[in-house]
Amino acid sequence: MKKNSSSAKFITLEGGEGAGKSTSRDFIVSLLSDHSIPFVHTREPGGTPIGETLRELLLSKKGVPPSVTTELLLVFAARAQHLHETIEPALAEGKWVLCDRFTDATYAYQGYGRGFDLNAISTLEDLVQNGRQPDLTVLLDIDPVVGMERARLRAELDRFEEEELAFFERVRAGYLSRASKDSRFEVVDASQNVTAVQADLAAILQPLLEGGG
């Protein structure tokens, strides 16, 4: 795994639809600010002008949907630019990076959800990331039934959010499978109330914050 400069940390937030990633991101941003830790917060797909353009293509419901291969390559194209333009420069400067989704989402959505070959995703991961992995991945886990109920109340659904329930069940299974095999994951029960979720997040991040201020 590629190491970060100084005490900079690369933290990713993962989870299915309606898991509360935005609320959790805002809470972590406040923790980092309170500890006077320099950081950037970003998202995938996106994080750069090129990435945001690709994000619009990926989420749009207009026209013929991209093939699974096209979808996967667009995701990694956005990630390559994101690493080049945003993530790696920030870490090199000693800034923490908080990112809403990263490659675990690709395995969960395109791999487990869409059924794309996991070995092929791994090959693209090696090519694009050059060993870069998060220091910590927080997985906000929630029953897809509950998550989609939340998502429908939040705003108009995008192309991914309109998938059937079975798709999101496979995505959740993929996330949990990866979390069970990698110690960088911390799983949070996202069905709890906001106060309980934030208490869990604070406990998870405290050791990093104490060493990174």
Give 7-26 pLDDT, tens digit per residue: 899 999 999 888 899 999 99
Q: What is the pTM of this model?
A: 0.92
* Residue 181: predicted pLDDT: 97
Whats the size of the chain, residue-wise? Answer: 213
Phi, psi of 42 (to 5 degrees): -150, -175
- Distance in angstroms (rounded) separating the CA atoms of residues 90 and 68: 31
Look at residues 79, 128, 109 and name the one whose alpha carbon lies nearest to residue 178.
109
- Distance in angstroms (rounded) separating the CA atoms of residues 141 and 139: 6
Q: Is the model's pLDDT at 195 over the cut of 80?
A: yes
Phi, psi of 161 (to 5 degrees): -65, -15
Question: Residue 202's CB: how many other CB atoms inside 10 A?
Answer: 13
Contact 142, 15 (CB under 8 A): yes
* Residue 161: predicted pLDDT: 65
3-state secondary structure of 137: strand
Give 106-131 pLDDT, tens digit per residue: 999 999 999 999 999 999 999 999 99
Q: What percent of the chain is predicted at pLDDT more than 70?
A: 92
Question: Residue 18's CB: how many other CB atoms inside 10 A?
Answer: 24
Q: Write down the H helix ranges in the chain.
A: 21-34, 49-59, 68-82, 88-92, 103-106, 118-129, 144-154, 165-181, 194-212
* Residue 85: predicted pLDDT: 98
Which amino acid is residue 195, in one-letter code?
Answer: T
Q: Is the model's pLDDT at 159 over the cut of 90?
A: no
- Distance in angstroms (rounded) separating the CA atoms of residues 55 and 38: 26
The C-alpha angle with vertex 206 and arms to 16 and 94, in degrees rounded to 5, equals: 85
pLDDT (mean) for 26-48: 97
- Distance in angstroms (rounded) separating the CA atoms of residues 103 and 93: 23
* Residue 7: predicted pLDDT: 82
Q: Is the model's pLDDT at 5 over the cut of 60?
A: no
